[in-house]
Amino acid sequence: MSSDLKKNPLVDSFLSTLRLEKGLSENTIKAYSNDCKAFNQWLFLKKGYKAVSAIEEDIENYLKHLNSINLSNASINRKLSSIKHFFNYLSKAKLLKSNPVINISGLKSSKALPKSLSIIDVNSLIKAPDCSNFIGLRDRTMIELMYATGVRISELINLEYGNIDLNRSLIKVMGKGGKERMIPFGDDALSWLITYIEFRRKNNLSLNSREFFISQQGKKITRQAFWYRIKAYLKVTGLSLDISPHTLRHAFATHLLNNGADLRSVQMLLGHSDLSTTQIYTHIAKQRLSNMVKQHHPRG
Protein backbone atom coordinates (compact mmCIF):
# COMPACT_ATOMS: atom_id res chain seq x y z
CA MET A 1 0.00 0.00 0.00
CA SER A 2 1.22 3.49 -0.87
CA SER A 3 2.63 5.63 1.93
CA ASP A 4 0.05 8.26 0.88
CA LEU A 5 -2.63 5.93 2.19
CA LYS A 6 -0.82 5.05 5.38
CA LYS A 7 -0.07 8.61 6.48
CA ASN A 8 -2.29 11.65 6.40
CA PRO A 9 -0.86 14.67 8.22
CA LEU A 10 -3.92 16.80 7.45
CA VAL A 11 -6.25 14.35 9.17
CA ASP A 12 -3.81 14.02 12.08
CA SER A 13 -3.70 17.80 12.44
CA PHE A 14 -7.50 17.94 12.33
CA LEU A 15 -7.74 15.30 15.08
CA SER A 16 -5.24 17.18 17.24
CA THR A 17 -7.41 20.29 16.94
CA LEU A 18 -10.47 18.30 18.02
CA ARG A 19 -8.64 17.07 21.12
CA LEU A 20 -7.40 20.51 22.12
CA GLU A 21 -10.37 22.70 21.26
CA LYS A 22 -13.39 20.42 21.58
CA GLY A 23 -12.31 18.17 24.44
CA LEU A 24 -13.90 15.15 22.79
CA SER A 25 -13.54 11.61 24.13
CA GLU A 26 -11.03 9.23 22.56
CA ASN A 27 -13.88 7.07 21.23
CA THR A 28 -15.31 10.08 19.40
CA ILE A 29 -11.87 11.08 18.10
CA LYS A 30 -11.36 7.52 16.83
CA ALA A 31 -14.68 7.66 14.96
CA TYR A 32 -13.66 10.94 13.28
CA SER A 33 -10.29 9.41 12.41
CA ASN A 34 -11.79 6.29 10.85
CA ASP A 35 -14.35 8.27 8.83
CA CYS A 36 -11.89 10.87 7.50
CA LYS A 37 -9.12 8.41 6.68
CA ALA A 38 -11.56 6.08 4.90
CA PHE A 39 -12.73 8.97 2.73
CA ASN A 40 -9.16 10.09 1.98
CA GLN A 41 -8.15 6.56 1.02
CA TRP A 42 -11.17 6.18 -1.26
CA LEU A 43 -10.48 9.56 -2.87
CA PHE A 44 -6.82 8.76 -3.50
CA LEU A 45 -7.60 5.32 -4.98
CA LYS A 46 -10.42 6.63 -7.21
CA LYS A 47 -9.05 10.04 -8.20
CA GLY A 48 -5.36 9.97 -7.36
CA TYR A 49 -5.45 13.21 -5.39
CA LYS A 50 -5.83 14.39 -1.80
CA ALA A 51 -8.69 16.06 0.07
CA VAL A 52 -7.45 19.61 -0.60
CA SER A 53 -8.24 19.01 -4.28
CA ALA A 54 -11.67 17.45 -3.72
CA ILE A 55 -14.74 18.92 -5.38
CA GLU A 56 -18.42 18.65 -4.55
CA GLU A 57 -18.90 15.82 -7.05
CA ASP A 58 -16.31 13.74 -5.16
CA ILE A 59 -18.31 14.01 -1.95
CA GLU A 60 -21.52 13.04 -3.73
CA ASN A 61 -19.84 10.04 -5.35
CA TYR A 62 -18.46 8.92 -2.01
CA LEU A 63 -21.94 9.02 -0.49
CA LYS A 64 -23.17 6.89 -3.41
CA HIS A 65 -20.32 4.47 -2.74
CA LEU A 66 -21.31 4.19 0.92
CA ASN A 67 -24.90 3.55 -0.12
CA SER A 68 -23.75 0.86 -2.57
CA ILE A 69 -22.15 -1.13 0.26
CA ASN A 70 -25.51 -1.15 2.09
CA LEU A 71 -24.70 1.26 4.91
CA SER A 72 -27.76 2.69 6.64
CA ASN A 73 -28.67 6.34 6.11
CA ALA A 74 -27.82 7.01 9.74
CA SER A 75 -24.31 5.56 9.31
CA ILE A 76 -23.76 7.50 6.09
CA ASN A 77 -24.89 10.73 7.74
CA ARG A 78 -22.50 10.16 10.63
CA LYS A 79 -19.59 9.69 8.22
CA LEU A 80 -20.69 12.75 6.27
CA SER A 81 -20.72 14.77 9.49
CA SER A 82 -17.10 13.78 10.16
CA ILE A 83 -16.08 14.69 6.62
CA LYS A 84 -17.85 18.06 6.87
CA HIS A 85 -16.00 18.89 10.07
CA PHE A 86 -12.75 17.90 8.37
CA PHE A 87 -13.34 20.14 5.36
CA ASN A 88 -14.51 23.02 7.53
CA TYR A 89 -11.18 22.69 9.37
CA LEU A 90 -9.28 22.75 6.06
CA SER A 91 -11.29 25.78 4.95
CA LYS A 92 -10.50 27.71 8.16
CA ALA A 93 -6.84 26.81 7.67
CA LYS A 94 -7.11 28.36 4.16
CA LEU A 95 -6.02 25.11 2.51
CA LEU A 96 -8.99 24.99 0.10
CA LYS A 97 -9.91 27.05 -2.94
CA SER A 98 -13.53 26.28 -2.17
CA ASN A 99 -15.24 24.12 0.41
CA PRO A 100 -16.82 21.10 -1.35
CA VAL A 101 -19.23 20.21 1.48
CA ILE A 102 -21.10 23.52 1.77
CA ASN A 103 -24.02 22.41 -0.40
CA ILE A 104 -24.01 18.73 0.59
CA SER A 105 -27.03 17.62 2.64
CA GLY A 106 -27.43 14.49 4.69
CA LEU A 107 -29.72 11.63 3.73
CA LYS A 108 -33.21 11.51 5.15
CA SER A 109 -33.66 8.81 7.75
CA SER A 110 -36.16 8.09 10.44
CA LYS A 111 -34.40 8.34 13.76
CA ALA A 112 -34.58 4.99 15.49
CA LEU A 113 -35.92 5.16 19.00
CA PRO A 114 -33.48 3.83 21.58
CA LYS A 115 -34.54 0.60 23.23
CA SER A 116 -35.85 0.90 26.73
CA LEU A 117 -37.08 -1.38 29.51
CA SER A 118 -40.30 -1.49 31.47
CA ILE A 119 -40.10 -0.94 35.21
CA ILE A 120 -40.85 -4.64 35.71
CA ASP A 121 -37.98 -5.62 33.41
CA VAL A 122 -35.61 -3.22 35.15
CA ASN A 123 -36.52 -4.74 38.51
CA SER A 124 -35.88 -8.23 37.12
CA LEU A 125 -32.44 -7.19 35.88
CA ILE A 126 -31.57 -5.41 39.12
CA LYS A 127 -32.42 -8.49 41.20
CA ALA A 128 -30.54 -10.95 38.95
CA PRO A 129 -27.05 -10.76 40.54
CA ASP A 130 -26.20 -13.14 43.41
CA CYS A 131 -25.19 -10.68 46.13
CA SER A 132 -23.70 -13.32 48.42
CA ASN A 133 -20.36 -12.81 46.64
CA PHE A 134 -18.31 -9.72 45.77
CA ILE A 135 -18.91 -9.79 41.99
CA GLY A 136 -22.67 -10.10 42.38
CA LEU A 137 -22.75 -7.33 44.99
CA ARG A 138 -20.66 -5.06 42.77
CA ASP A 139 -22.89 -5.77 39.76
CA ARG A 140 -26.07 -5.11 41.73
CA THR A 141 -24.64 -1.81 42.94
CA MET A 142 -23.58 -0.80 39.42
CA ILE A 143 -26.99 -1.62 37.95
CA GLU A 144 -28.79 0.17 40.79
CA LEU A 145 -26.65 3.28 40.36
CA MET A 146 -26.88 3.34 36.58
CA TYR A 147 -30.67 3.14 36.67
CA ALA A 148 -30.84 5.66 39.54
CA THR A 149 -28.70 8.29 37.76
CA GLY A 150 -28.82 7.59 34.02
CA VAL A 151 -25.04 7.85 33.71
CA ARG A 152 -23.20 6.64 30.63
CA ILE A 153 -21.26 3.38 30.92
CA SER A 154 -17.95 5.24 30.68
CA GLU A 155 -19.03 7.58 33.49
CA LEU A 156 -20.02 4.62 35.67
CA ILE A 157 -16.81 2.62 35.30
CA ASN A 158 -14.64 5.73 35.79
CA LEU A 159 -16.32 6.62 39.07
CA GLU A 160 -13.89 7.16 41.95
CA TYR A 161 -14.40 7.24 45.73
CA GLY A 162 -13.92 11.00 45.73
CA ASN A 163 -16.80 11.43 43.26
CA ILE A 164 -19.41 10.07 45.68
CA ASP A 165 -21.14 12.13 48.36
CA LEU A 166 -23.12 9.70 50.51
CA ASN A 167 -24.32 12.44 52.88
CA ARG A 168 -26.08 14.34 50.11
CA SER A 169 -26.76 11.31 47.84
CA LEU A 170 -24.85 12.81 44.90
CA ILE A 171 -22.26 11.61 42.42
CA LYS A 172 -19.97 13.78 40.33
CA VAL A 173 -19.21 12.59 36.80
CA MET A 174 -17.15 13.93 33.91
CA GLY A 175 -19.23 13.73 30.76
CA LYS A 176 -18.57 14.29 27.07
CA GLY A 177 -16.45 17.29 26.23
CA GLY A 178 -15.02 17.32 29.76
CA LYS A 179 -18.29 18.68 31.18
CA GLU A 180 -18.77 17.96 34.87
CA ARG A 181 -22.17 17.44 36.41
CA MET A 182 -23.67 16.44 39.77
CA ILE A 183 -26.42 13.82 39.77
CA PRO A 184 -28.66 12.95 42.73
CA PHE A 185 -29.74 9.37 43.48
CA GLY A 186 -32.37 7.75 45.68
CA ASP A 187 -32.39 5.69 48.85
CA ASP A 188 -32.20 2.29 47.12
CA ALA A 189 -28.98 3.19 45.33
CA LEU A 190 -27.61 4.76 48.53
CA SER A 191 -28.27 1.57 50.49
CA TRP A 192 -26.42 -0.59 47.96
CA LEU A 193 -23.51 1.84 47.72
CA ILE A 194 -23.07 1.69 51.49
CA THR A 195 -23.31 -2.12 51.47
CA TYR A 196 -20.73 -2.35 48.69
CA ILE A 197 -18.32 0.03 50.47
CA GLU A 198 -18.66 -1.88 53.75
CA PHE A 199 -17.97 -5.19 51.98
CA ARG A 200 -14.79 -3.80 50.45
CA ARG A 201 -13.63 -2.48 53.81
CA LYS A 202 -14.35 -5.68 55.70
CA ASN A 203 -12.60 -7.79 53.09
CA ASN A 204 -9.71 -5.37 52.52
CA LEU A 205 -10.41 -5.18 48.78
CA SER A 206 -7.88 -2.70 47.38
CA LEU A 207 -8.73 0.09 49.78
CA ASN A 208 -5.76 2.04 48.46
CA SER A 209 -7.41 2.21 45.04
CA ARG A 210 -9.28 5.34 44.00
CA GLU A 211 -11.36 3.26 41.58
CA PHE A 212 -14.82 2.56 42.94
CA PHE A 213 -15.97 -0.39 40.86
CA ILE A 214 -13.18 -2.95 40.67
CA SER A 215 -12.54 -6.52 39.55
CA GLN A 216 -11.55 -9.34 41.88
CA GLN A 217 -7.95 -8.42 41.05
CA GLY A 218 -8.50 -4.91 42.39
CA LYS A 219 -8.39 -3.23 38.98
CA LYS A 220 -11.00 -0.91 37.51
CA ILE A 221 -13.75 -2.87 35.78
CA THR A 222 -13.79 -2.44 32.01
CA ARG A 223 -16.69 -1.58 29.74
CA GLN A 224 -16.38 -5.01 28.11
CA ALA A 225 -16.45 -6.82 31.45
CA PHE A 226 -19.62 -5.00 32.55
CA TRP A 227 -21.25 -5.74 29.18
CA TYR A 228 -20.43 -9.43 29.67
CA ARG A 229 -21.98 -9.42 33.14
CA ILE A 230 -25.18 -7.77 31.87
CA LYS A 231 -25.47 -10.40 29.12
CA ALA A 232 -25.19 -13.14 31.75
CA TYR A 233 -28.01 -11.60 33.80
CA LEU A 234 -30.20 -11.20 30.72
CA LYS A 235 -29.95 -14.96 30.19
CA VAL A 236 -30.89 -15.58 33.82
CA THR A 237 -33.97 -13.34 33.63
CA GLY A 238 -35.03 -14.35 30.11
CA LEU A 239 -34.93 -10.75 28.89
CA SER A 240 -33.92 -9.91 25.32
CA LEU A 241 -30.20 -10.29 24.64
CA ASP A 242 -30.39 -7.13 22.50
CA ILE A 243 -30.43 -5.10 25.70
CA SER A 244 -27.15 -3.40 26.62
CA PRO A 245 -25.95 -1.58 29.75
CA HIS A 246 -26.76 1.67 27.93
CA THR A 247 -30.42 0.60 27.85
CA LEU A 248 -30.59 1.41 31.58
CA ARG A 249 -29.75 5.03 30.71
CA HIS A 250 -32.65 5.07 28.26
CA ALA A 251 -34.95 3.51 30.88
CA PHE A 252 -33.91 6.16 33.41
CA ALA A 253 -34.90 8.98 31.05
CA THR A 254 -38.08 7.35 29.79
CA HIS A 255 -39.39 6.48 33.25
CA LEU A 256 -38.71 10.01 34.52
CA LEU A 257 -40.68 11.55 31.66
CA ASN A 258 -43.47 9.01 32.01
CA ASN A 259 -43.82 10.07 35.64
CA GLY A 260 -44.01 13.78 34.96
CA ALA A 261 -40.40 15.04 34.92
CA ASP A 262 -39.79 18.06 32.68
CA LEU A 263 -37.55 17.75 29.64
CA ARG A 264 -35.01 20.38 30.74
CA SER A 265 -34.36 18.58 34.03
CA VAL A 266 -33.84 15.26 32.24
CA GLN A 267 -31.50 17.01 29.81
CA MET A 268 -29.37 18.26 32.71
CA LEU A 269 -29.30 14.85 34.40
CA LEU A 270 -28.26 13.07 31.19
CA GLY A 271 -25.63 15.68 30.35
CA HIS A 272 -27.00 16.42 26.89
CA SER A 273 -25.68 19.68 25.45
CA ASP A 274 -28.60 19.93 23.03
CA LEU A 275 -32.25 19.60 24.09
CA SER A 276 -33.11 17.95 20.77
CA THR A 277 -31.04 14.93 21.85
CA THR A 278 -33.23 14.54 24.93
CA GLN A 279 -36.48 15.05 23.02
CA ILE A 280 -36.26 11.59 21.49
CA TYR A 281 -37.34 10.21 24.87
CA THR A 282 -40.62 12.11 24.66
CA HIS A 283 -41.36 10.06 21.52
CA ILE A 284 -40.83 6.87 23.52
CA ALA A 285 -43.16 8.12 26.24
CA LYS A 286 -45.84 9.10 23.71
CA GLN A 287 -45.47 5.80 21.88
CA ARG A 288 -45.98 3.85 25.11
CA LEU A 289 -49.04 5.92 26.04
CA SER A 290 -50.48 5.27 22.58
CA ASN A 291 -49.84 1.53 22.89
CA MET A 292 -51.42 1.51 26.36
CA VAL A 293 -54.59 3.19 25.05
CA LYS A 294 -54.84 0.77 22.12
CA GLN A 295 -54.35 -2.21 24.41
CA HIS A 296 -56.66 -1.27 27.30
CA HIS A 297 -59.30 1.15 25.96
CA PRO A 298 -62.55 -0.60 24.92
CA ARG A 299 -62.52 1.31 21.64
CA GLY A 300 -58.73 1.35 21.22
What mean pLDDT is reported for the chain? 85
Give start-end residues of each CATH 1.10.150.130 domain in the chain: 3-92
pLDDT of residue 82: 93
pLDDT of residue 120: 92
The architecture (CATH level 2) of 3-92 comes to Orthogonal Bundle (1.10)
Q: Which of 140, 229, 249, 255 is catalytic?
A: 249
pLDDT of residue 245: 81
pLDDT of residue 174: 86
Angle 73-92/9-17 helices, nearest 10 degrees?
90
Q: What is the pLDDT of residues 239-296, one digit of tens each?
A: 887 788 888 888 888 888 888 888 888 888 888 777 766 766 666 555 555 555 556 5
Question: Cα separation of 150 and 248, whole Å?
Answer: 7
CATH class of 119-296: mainly alpha
pLDDT of residue 290: 53
Q: Which of 85, 138, 140, 152 is catalytic?
A: 152
Enumerate residue ranges in the chain where pLDDT < 70.
Answer: 1-7, 108-115, 207-208, 276-277, 279-300
Give the burial class of 238: count Cβ atoms within 10 A of its Cβ; 0-12 exposed, 13-18 middle, 19 or more buried: exposed
pLDDT of residue 39: 94
Q: Is this model's pTM higher than 0.75 or not?
A: no
Q: Which of 65, 176, 220, 223 is catalytic?
A: 176
Instruction: Tell me, yes or no, if 249 is annotated catalytic.
Output: yes
Question: Cα separation of 186 and 86, whole Å?
Answer: 43
Instruction: Tell me, yes or no, if 281 is annotated catalytic.
Output: yes
Q: What is the pLDDT of residues 14-40, one digit of tens each?
A: 998 888 877 777 888 899 999 999 999
Neighbouring C-beta atoms of residue 146, cutoff 10 Å: 25
Instruction: Tell me, yes or no, if 176 is annotated catalytic.
Output: yes
Give start-end residues of each CATH 1.10.443.10 domain in the chain: 119-296
User: What Rg, from alpha-carbon coordinates, does the chain have?
Assistant: 23
> Using an 8 Å Cβ cutoff, are 204 and 188 in contact?
no
